[in-house]
Amino acid sequence: MAVLTVSGEPGCPVEEVARRVAQELDFEIFDESAVLRMVEEHSGPDPAPDKAWAHLLNSILARLATQHNLVASMPGAEFLLRQYPDTMRTAVVAPQSYRAGMIMLDRGLERPEANSVLKEADRGQRDVRRRRFGRATAPPHLFDLTLNAAGMESDSMAAVIAAAAGIRGLAGLGRMPASVEAGIQFQARLQLARYRLRPPAQVGIERKVFYHPSEEIFANLLDFYRIAWEYEPRSFPLEWDETGAVLEAFTPDFYLPEFDLYVELTTMKQALVTKKNRKVRRLRRIYPEVNIQVFYQKDFQNLIFKYGLTDRTMQL
CATH code of the domain covering residue 11: 3.40.50.300
Range of the domain at 231: 213-314
User: Is residue 18 within 8 Å of residue 29, measured between CB atoms?
Assistant: yes
User: Is residue 68 within 8 Å of residue 76, measured between CB atoms?
Assistant: no
User: Is residue 55 within 8 Å of residue 48, measured between CB atoms?
Assistant: no
Residues 34 and 122 in one domain: yes
Q: What is the DSSP code string of 133-147? A: HS-SS--GGG-SEEE
Give the gyration radius of the chain's Cα atoms. 22
Residues 91 and 125 in one domain: yes
Residues 10 and 153 in one domain: yes
How far apart, in whole angstroms, are the C-alpha atoms of residue 141 and residue 255? Answer: 38
- Count: domains in the chain: 2
Q: H or E element: which one contains 261?
A: strand 261-266
Type of residue numbered 147: L
- Evaluate whether residue 203 is within a structural domain: no
CATH number where 258 lies: 3.40.960.10
- Evaluate whether residue 172 is within a structural domain: yes
118, with CB counted inside 10 A (0-12, 13-18, 19+), is buried
Rounded-to-5 percentages of helix, strand, coil across the chain: 50, 15, 35
At residue 79, the pLDDT reads: 94
| Cα 58-63-67 angle, rounded to 5 deg | 135
| Cα 29-32-37 angle, rounded to 5 deg | 95
Domain boundary among 139, 164, 195: 195
How far apart, in whole angstroms, are the C-alpha atoms of residue 65 and residue 181? Answer: 8
Identify any residues that bridge with 7 across adjacent strands, giving them in sequence order.
91
Grouping H, G, I as helix, E, B as strand and the rest as coil, residue 295 is strand
- Evaluate whether residue 22 is within a structural domain: yes
Residues 115 and 230 in one domain: no
At residue 312, the pLDDT reads: 38
Residues 23 and 137 in one domain: yes
User: Is residue 128 within 8 Å of residue 135, measured between CB atoms?
Assistant: no
Give the pLDDT of the chain (316 residues) as one tens digit per residue: 789 999 999 999 998 899 889 888 888 888 877 777 777 776 666 778 889 999 989 998 888 888 888 999 988 999 999 888 899 999 999 999 999 999 998 778 899 999 999 999 999 999 999 999 999 999 999 999 999 999 999 889 999 999 999 999 998 777 778 888 889 989 999 999 998 888 777 666 666 667 777 888 888 888 777 787 888 878 888 888 777 777 788 889 999 888 889 999 886 555 567 778 888 999 999 999 999 998 887 776 676 666 554 443 333 3
- Evaluate whether residue 156 is within a structural domain: yes
Grouping H, G, I as helix, E, B as strand and the rest as coil, residue 233 is coil
| Cα 284 versus chain centre, distance | 28
Closest by Cα among 118, 116, 142, 138 to 129 = 138
- Tell me which DSSP letter residue 194 carries: G
Q: H or E element: which one contains 188?
A: helix 178-192
- Evaluate whether residue 42 is within a structural domain: yes
Count the residues in the chain: 316
Residues 14 and 142 in one domain: yes
Residues 106 and 40 in one domain: yes
- Quote the pTM value: 0.70
- Evaluate whether residue 66 is within a structural domain: yes
Domain boundary among 142, 167, 195: 195
How far apart, in whole angstroms, are the C-alpha atoms of residue 293 and residue 265? Answer: 9
- Evaluate whether residue 207 is within a structural domain: no
Closest by Cα among 307, 306, 283, 309 to 294 = 283
